[in-house]
Amino acid sequence: MLQSLITLSDQDIEVVITAVRQWCTKNHCEIDSNEGRRALTLAIDLVQNSTRDRLLQNLTERLGPRSGQMDAEISGAG
């Protein structure tokens, strides 16, 4: 993952970190959790292969809600 970050510009790194933090906040997880790392890896891939302005939307579409978050929403607790 760190090797992929090296290939990004400073601006792209900022976009990735911001989008992943927003995704993690929305999904009630820490950026250093398994879900956060998964989002970070996907965000790096997405920013390298798609437009930056839709990064958070693309992350949400690809990852969906965390399984624990989805369970809470289904049971009405979310």
Task: Give pLDDT tens digits for 56-76.
Answer: 888 889 988 765 444 444 345
Could you give the CA distance from residue 20 to residue 25 in angstroms, rounded to a whole number?
A: 8
Looking at residue 66, its pLDDT comes to 64
Residue 26 has pLDDT above 70, yes or no: yes
Can you give the pTM of this predicted structure? 0.73
Crossing angle (nearest 10°) for helices 10-26 and 55-63: 50
- pLDDT recorded at residue 58: 87
